[in-house]
A and B are shown apart, each in its own frame.
Chain A
Amino acid sequence: GVVRQAMASYQEFIQQNEDRDGVRFSWNLWPSSRLEATRLVVPVSCLFTPLKERPDLPPVQYEPVLCSRANCKAVLNPLCQVDFRAKIWACNFCFQRNPFPPSYAGISEVNQPAELMPQFSTIEYIVQRGATAPLIFLYVVDTCLEEEDLQALKESLQMSLSLLPPNALVGLITFGRMVQVHELSCEGIAKSYVFRGTKDLSSKQIQEMLGLTKPAASAQQGRPVAPQDAAASCRFLQPVHRVDMNLTDLLGELQRDPWPVPQGKRPLRSTGVALTVAVGLLEGTFPNTGARVMLFIGGPPTQGPGMVVGDELKTPIRSWHDIQKDNARHLKKATKYYEAMANRSAVNGHCIDIYACALDQTGLLEMKCLSNLTGGHIVMGDSFNTSLFKQTFQRVFSKDLNGDFRMAFGGVLEIKTSREVKVCGSIGPCVSLNSKGSCVSENEMGIGGTSQWKVCGLNPSTTLGIFFEVVNQHNAPVPQGGRGAIQFVTQYQHSNTQRRIRVTTIARNWADAQSQIQHIESSFDQEAAAVLMARLGVFRAESEEGPDVLRWLDRQLIRLCQKFGQFNKDDPTSFKLSESLSLYPQFMFHLRRSPFLQVFNNSPDESSYYRHHFVRQDLTQSLIMIQPILYSYSFHGPPEPVLLDSSSILPDRILLMDTFFQLVIYHGEDTLADTESTIAQWRKNFKQLLLAPLDDAQEILQTRFPMPRYIDTEHGGSQARFLLSKVNPSQTHNNLYAWGQETGAPILTDDVSLQVFMDHLKKLAVSSSA
């Protein structure tokens, strides 16, 4: 009895499920009919982390057993009914009865294969078939950088060679006004192929121009190329152990783009063509092999296809204002160009990272799809000569406890559902594989219309939001004692080049919303729900006007409050929410203010960057993004989390705020002052106090990807704005005196405070007219 479980045990259940399966559902009891499900406002949906690190889960060395029904092919799992005597198992999705394969002849109640044991609801198989291909890393490097930046970048790249798997293939493309593809295996002379930076080329042209005549065999779709053949056929991608000396020298000799940049002009940067060449090169030589294109840019594309801004400095790069006024000349064309390229790259299973380091925008808005659709990283910084970039880049090559790289390639996620449920779509770093089938809903949410998605690049934290629809009709009986089940099948290329399949099968009980609404309410995972709703909001924001998205979010929130709030009609003061929903409005409040939905004060590139990370991080990180965490350090006790509220800003506190993207240490007024009154008190523990938040910050800095911007500021400092813009403006210049003194710092804003927001929400929720 799920019903019997108490609130507290739900927390446990949720945590367990997340730990074991990497799954967080918005509802852990599912309404048994479509109608009831829609009334719940928040859809049945989950955050799924396909490659969640499971050090305790050794992969099995065999292949999964599949349901024999052609349109099912579900994987044998603990939910299946097994007839040990007959050596038959029944598929829990289609009820097909399948004989076990011969190798399972020895099974019995006491001798069960792992996939039948409940603790293996998530299990990983190693596929032995097929040749394994080495990983491929193709560096695409902008040379229109300041000398200092280029030097730093060169060093980072040289350093990275030692981090790559020794058998990995590596390639180098540099670009500025022209695009150069470097041949790596030549002695005595450094060879490269050069492309004009203004001319779009088809993949075929690129391969011809590179002298890569494609052997017929390797052209076949869906088959990785035998590594030896591939290596022989491509002088541009060579095993790192063989060319690291050459490549180190080559990188060392790399010069800034030599073409003169006249006064008042931007350097001509052929990013578009460079990417086309990179994608074309891989497409021709290593289709369907794990590969990572790593683009390093120090400015926007200024010529050729994919150009984001002209080279005239007097014409600034587009702002949100320009975009809203439909005044961004190159936006549509460039976006279309990069989207087409991203889709091609995704088809071939290659992911594209963008490392953009510049003070101004670099065109991430237009280029973001390259990473978003292929599962690549986007890293944004001010300069390549910062620890933010250097350490983040290093972290790309971090290893897990087994010594394997925390990256995987060419992932295909397939979802199978039991009959009462269908999948509406997914939001995350993936593209649709357009696989229609019986479990695909017509109602699309996110990237829908399919039950399979390609995730070209993924790591242990890559998390997709997946949305479902309950399709059981209201008058149909709830399956007696039945449970709804969902199976996630993720095939991918492990960083050790193995092909693997991870299978997660989960089930949730059905509940009748009319009779068991409290149970359903208490099964609500408000954190997951907030993140999932946020993903829907962000997804909408990509195509809709900002205010519309906010209105939609508000409406959803109000409806949810109406549905689950306890109140007397038209009496806002009577409004109450149960514990399982109590934090949800606050999440929504902060989400509304977040850079994911607000573009004010952010450049289009920044917005793209924030959204990029938001739709791929796991629940914890996502929540931090929605509602930053604030810790307070004082002499009065141990560090404590405090409200993200202006009232938390006190003179004698040091605050540490983590917004995911920034780590802000804020020294209160008095912690700086060397005043008579406090000096004695401070003297003793001063150092310790000052160090404590720094140490805590370090911990975050060392683990997070991308490394956050570290801001050490103080009362009155200009950088303090990072903190002040995040806290709930409970005290503003407008209401300061109403609140008396002693508490907090006023924020100079006209934004509404949480209090005002809540008041308004209550009013609307209880309104009979709503």
Chain B
Amino acid sequence: MSQQGYVAAPPYSQAQPGMGGYQGGFGGGPAQPLYGHYGGPPQAFAAPPAGMMKSPVSSAAGMPPPPASNQYNPNVQQNGAHPQRYPAPQAASVYGQPLQSPYNSMASMAPPPAQQLTNQMSSMNLGNYAPGPMQSPPPPTSSVQQPFQTSPPQAMGQPQMSPGPQSPHMSPQMSPQQSPMSGPPMGGPPMGGPPMGGPPMGGPPMGGPPMGGPPMGGTPMGGPQMTGPPMAGMGRPFPGPPGPGGFQQPGPGAAGPPGYPQQAGQFGGNMAGHQPGMPGAFPGAPGGMAGPPQKKLDPDSIPSITQVIEDDQVKRGGQVYSTNIRGQIPPLVTTDFTVQDQGNASPRFMRCTTYSLPCTADLAKQCQVPLASIIKPLANLPENETPLYVVNHGETGPIRCNRCKAYMCPYMQFIDGGRRYQCGFCNCVNEVPVFYFQHLDHMGRRVDFYERPELSLGSYEFVATLDYCKNNKPPNPPAYIFMIDVSYNNIKSGLVKLICDELKNLLEHLPSEEGVEASAIKVGFVTYNKVLHFYNVKSALAQPQMMVVSDTAEMFVPLLDGFLVNYQDSRAVISNLLDQIPDMFADTNESETVFVPVIQAGVEAFKAAECSGKLFIFQSSMPTAEAPGKLKNRDDKKLVNTDKEKTLFQPQKGVYEQLSKECVAQGCCVDLFLFPNQYMDIATMADVPSHTGGSVYKYNNFQVETDGEHFLRDLRKDVQKSIGFDAIMRVRTSTGFRATEFFGAIHMNNTTDIEMAAVDCDKALTVEFKHDDTLSEETGAHMQCALLYTTINGQRRLRIHNLSLNCSSQLSELYKSCETDSLINFFSKSACRAILNQPLKTVREILVNQTAHMLACYRKNCASPSAASQLILPDAMKVFPVYINSLMKTAPLVGSTELSTDDRAHQRLLIMGMGVEETQLLLYPRLTPLHNMDVSIKTHPAPVRCSEERLTDSGMFLLENGHSMFLWLGQAIPPDLVQNIFNLPSLAHLQGNMCALPELDNPLSNKVRAIINDLIEKRPNSMKLHIVRQKDKPEMVFRQFLVEDKGLHGGASYMDFLCYVHREIRQLLT
């Protein structure tokens, strides 16, 4: 559709369908008419939002305007509604304000609507602001540093962050890039972007970091000044007349143009041009805005995630975080800190989107900030943090509130001399059981307060009594069943042998509970193609026995005794078996497989053994053999960007749905290791894992040489990770609000009980809360998450996490207490769930709209008055737009026919189970320069912003997002570096399929490998190292991870997106 306009450009530069949407909205076109549009009355603006949604219209970059607006009419109305609520702020005031005052101003900003208009129209006058910082800085590269240091206020981006430290980091990278290209171009076109950037920083952000003090101090400072410049940028584009042309017509700005023309071409040649950022997603729009662009905005001037991370690390890194204060905001997930549990759950277990809830539903509705908690109930704790205590309340089981059944916790208020206690959740007054009675001290606290974890800690465990066990019988230890597809593909690829060899080693290291030597986990083995082979490996046998079950229509387990065994007892027989399996099927020519019966077999085995456990399934093809759950290829790229696109993500119903239920009921977790050579319908095949707390790993075109190690690392991690089985979880809240939505690899039979066949240390679920009633500022809000599960040693436990939050009737408190990383986790999951039921276009619209809405609400209610043209972001959310933009560029959400349906479905499912750390990393990969680091320092070099601009021809960069890892080598990389790392004379000698670095004994090699290994070790998933050379074809894959740039498959650059959001906000405020 939209691509036409770009056809001329090289392939990957093309605007992807996804982009189209934006384009359309913005009128993408070159056309002046468009411009007129924007310049025009407010309505004109209204249209764009519609455009956001990718739409047919988007298509023509060239011919957008008229039709577009029609189509979007409905949207217009929608938007119309918002504006009413948020009158536009006064433009002027902000600018005028002195540094000091920003905070105040934020609070009160209610510019009259009328003005707003004018603002918009005229405003476009970034020029005003521009004068100062913006324009000046860009030009000289070297200058970059200067601005920061010399005139902090001006330098938007930099300033906000502690100028000192960061500038040095940034500068080196920036400089090279900027010097040549960016300098000039930036200033010009990007306009839209940059300006925005400016403001955000300026306003709130500044305040945040620098000033210890919350909003006040910091904000003000940055606010005014920073904002100034950015706006300037903005101003121009808008007002600027011909701007639009910019896009397509290189002509427009001869000067600025350098940038533009390039872009067009550049997209193709992307690399060459630096500007990647800009054009990307909102080509049309920004262009339009930029209009006149002579000067580009400095990309450094918009809020930077790396900077935010670094600041937090500086500020809170290495410190002890005590959880003794209600509603306190924990350090960022990226920060290295130590937790001391003093009555609230560690942020490793629970994080919230905000630590200060609005008191009323109206407030919550007004700001549209989701109230959610991300819970990773079995999160691993670092070694220097105390493991959870286990509390035993004896035969009667844990003490619980009689009414709401909340478990004993620090929020229970003991009264009446300690004879009774009032529940902190439902306020019911309960008798204290005799055996539990204790006197109170003068503070009204029990004297055994510090002796009882359940009274003084946020997290602890109870020993569960038989009442908490299935059939009132103590559970058996869980079992792991390895189910290996031995069809032709897997035999031929050598995978079967690889697995069998590895298992011998792996089984020696099965996990066990701390302090217990031998693992209690039982193991079992199944191989299959279109029939299943079970193995009897009872220790008493001289040789293993194989039992073939061909009746896949009604699966059953053919043996009881000897299938699930203790590895140590049966080691000899198992070893014998694993030696034989690859040979037994060496001559197979069976290429068909079954799938559902394999899982059914596992469930049946667990049923028979009365245990829970996990299935490790290694499968290479879609199950096409005649059996339940047989699949047909239903991949259809034609559905992409239609209302039916969602069907690509929807699992096939019927037998798979039923199977999930059975698995959950039995506590059967399914982990899938897939080795596809073609479409496998992962949406369906991964349905069971995604409802049973399982994981799905995928190795496309698996080859033992290049992918073997990667896969084995994943397998080892997966087998060894700590995990709980047959779990059921409940989140209780104090009165006034309650959990309403649950996202994760879970199953729910009713609206409150979260059932998980298993939950491991990396699985997190996200819980959204809604108001029932008014919350009290005084008592705050409590939540208690109780997880009932079976340990890997077969003990039934209850794990309790308690967390207390503040409540406030001031929205500013809420915005202050927001955590962007948690917010983005929530949005990721809700969007990934939404695309099952809604057109992607709609989902993306909602994301953008809600982003704009949240920010507009802040501006309206919390920010000091400022020019409407100024973008003001809450400090705690200043990088939120980067993430949202990145989210919309993830495979599931970007509608591109170039992405494989399976990859998209796979990523969608991955996201559903992710914790805050993982979504953060996924949406903002770490891009680390390795060519200029100090190899003598232990720590890793600081990452730089994820943008092509940060790459240098002579550099070497490591990019990693928790799932993929790239070592990028610039064309002009010095030979000695190549020699040191690869032991090769030049890049030209590099083998294409290399996936590990040679072990060379020199400081650089050691350091680089240490960094890589450390990351691989640290992340929940192992990653395959891809080595890409600049300009090589594989570089395309790498580029899609540069999330600040325009998306390869569609999606705007960060700067363009910011501009767009800004416009939306202004729209809302009018």
Contact indicator per residue, chain B 560-595, by CB within 8 Å of chain A (1) or not (0): 111000000000000011001000100000000000
The reply to whether A209 and B580 contact each other, CB–CB distance below 8 Å, is no
Taking A195-B551, A199-B551 as contacts, is the C-beta distance between A189 and B559 under 8 angstroms?
A: no
**A189, B547: Cβ atoms under 8 Å?**
no
- Using Cβ atoms and an 8 Å threshold, which residues of chain A touch B541? 253
Contact of B531 with A209 in the complex, beta carbons under 8 Å: yes
User: Are B554 and A196 in touch, CB under 8 angstroms?
Assistant: yes
Contact A189 B558 (CB under 8 A): no
Q: B residues within 8 A CB of A260?
A: 560
The verdict on A189 contacting B551 (CB below 8 Å), with A178-B556, A194-B558, A258-B561 known, is no
Instruction: Give Cα A211 to B532, complex, Å.
Output: 12
A189 to B548, CA, bound (A): 12
- Residues B551 and A192 in contact, CB atoms below 8 Å apart: no
* B547 & A259 in contact (Cβ 8 Å cutoff): no
Contact A258-B548, Cβ < 8 Å, known A188-B543, A188-B580: no
Residues of A within 8 A of B534 (CB): 194
B597 CB, min distance to chain A CBs, angstroms: 12
> Is the C-beta of A210 less than 8 angstroms from some C-beta in chain B?
yes
Q: How far is the CB of B549 from chain A (nearest CB, A)?
A: 5
Provide the residues of chain B in CB contact with A258, threshold 8 Å.
Answer: 559-562
Complex contact B545–A196 (CB within 8 A): no
Pair B556/A189 contact, Cβ less than 8 Å:
no
**Contacting residue for B543 out of A178, A190, A194, A201, CB 8 A:** A190
Look across to chain A and name the residue whose beta carbon is closest to the beta carbon of B541. Answer: A253
Q: For the complex, is B546 an interface residue (Cβ under 8 Å from A)?
A: yes
Q: Assess the A210–B551 pair: CB atoms within 8 A.
A: no
Q: A404 interface residue, CB < 8 Å from B? A: no
Min Cβ gap B628→A in Å is 14
Question: Which of A188, A210, A211 counts the most chain B CB atoms within 10 A?
Answer: A188
Q: Does the CB pair B554–A208 fall under 8 Å?
A: no
A contact residues around B559 at 8 Å (CB):
178, 194, 258
Q: In the complex, are the beta carbons of B543 and A193 less than 8 A apart? A: no
Instruction: Identify which of A189, A194, A195 contacts B580 (C-beta below 8 A).
Output: A189
Query: How many angstroms from the CA of A211 to the CA of B549 in the assembled complex?
Result: 11
Whole-angstrom distance between the alpha carbons of A253 and B540 in the complex?
Answer: 10
Q: Which B residues lie within 8 Å of A196 (CB)?
A: 551, 554, 556
Tell me if A191 is interfacial: C-beta within 8 Å of chain B. yes
A493 interface residue (CB < 8 Å to B): no
Q: How far is the CB of B198 from chain A (nearest CB, A)?
A: 72
A268 to chain B, nearest CB (A): 12
Complex CA gap A259/B561 in Å reads 8
B551 touches A190 (CB 8 A): no
Query: What's the least CB distance linking B484 to chain A, in Å?
Result: 15
**B598 CB → nearest A CB, Å:** 15
Once the chains bind, are B547 and A194 in contact (CB under 8 Å)? yes
Overall SS of chain A's interface: mixed
A189 to B550 Cα, complex, angstroms: 18
Min CB distance A111 to B, Å, is 62
* Given A178-B558, A189-B580, A199-B554: A194 in contact with B549 (beta carbons within 8 A): yes
A330 to B577 CA separation, bound complex (whole angstroms): 43
Q: Is A180 an interface residue (CB 8 A)?
A: yes
CB of B144 to closest CB in A, whole Å: 70
Q: How far, in angstroms, from A253 to B559 measured CA to CA in the complex?
A: 15
Contact of B547 among A180, A209, A210, A253 (CB under 8 A): A180
**In the complex, are the beta carbons of B546 and A192 less than 8 A apart?**
yes
Interface residue? B544 (CB, 8 A): yes
Expressed in whole angstroms, the minimum distance between the Cβ of B890 and any Cβ of chain A is 45
CB under 8 Å from chain B, chain A span 183-228: 188-196, 199, 201, 208-211
Say yes or no: A191-B546 contact (C-beta < 8 A), given A253-B541, A258-B560: yes
Asked whether B545 lies within 8 Å of A191 as measured between CB atoms, the reply is yes
What residues of chain B lie closer than 8 Å to A190, measured between beta carbons?
Answer: 543-546
Contacts of B547 in A (CB 8 A): 180, 191-194
A199 to B561, CA, bound (A): 22
Taken residue by residue from 518 to 559, chain B's Cβ proximity to chain A (1 for < 8 Å, 0 otherwise) reads as 000000000000010010000001111111111100101011
Which residue of chain B lies nearest to A188 when distances are taken between CB atoms in the complex? B580
State how many residues of chain B have any CB contact under 8 Å with chain A: 24
Which residues of the other chain, A, contact B546 by a CB distance below 8 angstroms? 189-192
Say how far B119's CB is from chain A's closest CB, in angstroms: 76
CA distance A255 to B562 in the complex (A): 12
Q: Are B560 and A259 in contact (CB under 8 A)?
A: yes
Q: Which residue of B lies closest to A181 (CB)?
A: B548
Chain A residues 256 to 299 lying within 8 A of chain B, measured CB to CB, are 258-260
Least Cβ–Cβ distance between B694 and chain A, in angstroms = 27
Cβ-closest chain B residue relative to A249? B542
- CA gap between A259 and B609 in the complex, in Å: 11
- A209 contacts B550, CB within 8 Å? yes
- List of B residues within 8 angstroms of A199 by Cβ: 551, 554
Contact partners of B531 in chain A: CB under 8 A: 209, 211
Q: Is the CB of A189 within 8 A of B554?
A: no
- B577 and A189 contact, CB distance less than 8 A: yes
Contact A211 B550 (CB under 8 A): yes
Chain A residues in 8 Å Cβ range of B545: 189-192
User: Are the C-beta atoms of B548 and A191 separated by less than 8 Å?
Assistant: yes
Q: Across the interface, do B548 and A192 meet the contact criterion of CB distance under 8 Å? A: yes
Residues of B within 8 A of A259 (CB): 560
Bound CA–CA A260/B561 (angstroms) = 10
Residues of A within 8 A of B554 (CB): 196, 199
Q: How far is the CB of A234 from chain B (nearest CB, A)?
A: 15
Complex Cα distance A191/B561, Å?
16
B310 to chain A, nearest CB (A): 59
Residue of A nearest to B562 (CB): A258
Nearest chain B CB to A229's CB is how many angstroms away?
20
Question: Are A180's CB and B577's CB within 8 A?
Answer: no
Nearest CB in chain B: distance from A99 CB, A: 58
Q: Tell which of B531, B554, B559 has the most Cβ of chain A within 10 Å.
A: B559
- B residues in contact with A192, CB < 8 Å: 545-548
Complex Cα–Cα for A201 and B549 (A): 14
Contact with B along A54-80 (1 / 0, CB 8 A): 000000000000000000000000000
- Give the shortest distance, in Å, between B9 (CB) and chain A (any CB): 56
Complex Cα distance, B465 from A180, in Å, reads 41
B558 pairs with A180, CB closer than 8 A: yes
- How many Å lie between the Cα of A260 and that of B610 in the bound state? 13
Shortest CB-to-CB span from A178 to chain B, Å, is 5
Q: Which residues of A contact B562 (CB under 8 A)?
A: 258
Chain A positions within 8 Å of B584 at CB level: 189
Query: Taking CB as reference atom, which chain A residue is nearest B626?
Result: A208
Provide the A169-186 mask, 1 if CB < 8 A to any CB of B, else 0: 000000000101000000
Which residues does chain A contribute within 8 Å of B542, judged by CB atoms? 253
A196 and B549 CA atoms in complex are apart in Å by 9
B573-632 at interface with A (beta carbon < 8 Å): 576-577, 580, 584
| Of B544, B549, B550, the contact of A208 (CB 8 Å cutoff) | B550
Q: Separation in Å of the B489 CB from the closest CB of chain A?
A: 19
Chain B residues with CB below 8 A from A189, complex form:
543-546, 577, 580, 584
With A189-B584, A194-B558, A258-B561 as known contacts, state yes or no: A209 contacts B544, CB within 8 Å.
no
Nearest B residue (CB) for A208: B550
A280 to nearest B CB, angstroms? 12
Residues 149-181 (chain A) with a chain B CB within 8 angstroms: 178, 180
- Distance in Å: Cβ of B570 to nearest Cβ of chain A: 14
Measured CB to CB, the closest approach of chain A to B399, in angstroms, equals: 37
Q: How far is the CA of A199 from the CA of B531 in the complex (A)?
A: 17
Task: List chain B residues, Cβ under 8 A from A209.
Answer: 531, 550-551
Closest 10 CB pairs of A and B: A209-B550, A194-B558, A258-B561, A190-B545, A191-B546, A193-B548, A258-B560, A194-B547, A194-B549, A196-B556
Would you list 28 pairs from A and B whose C-beta atoms are within 8 A, ordered by A residue?
A: A180-B558, A189-B543, A189-B580, A190-B544, A190-B545, A190-B546, A191-B546, A192-B546, A192-B547, A193-B549, A194-B534, A194-B547, A194-B548, A194-B558, A194-B559, A195-B549, A196-B554, A196-B556, A201-B551, A209-B531, A209-B550, A209-B551, A211-B550, A253-B541, A253-B542, A255-B561, A259-B560, A260-B560
List 4 extra interface pairs beyond A193-B549, A258-B562, CB under 8 A: A180-B547, A191-B547, A193-B547, A195-B550
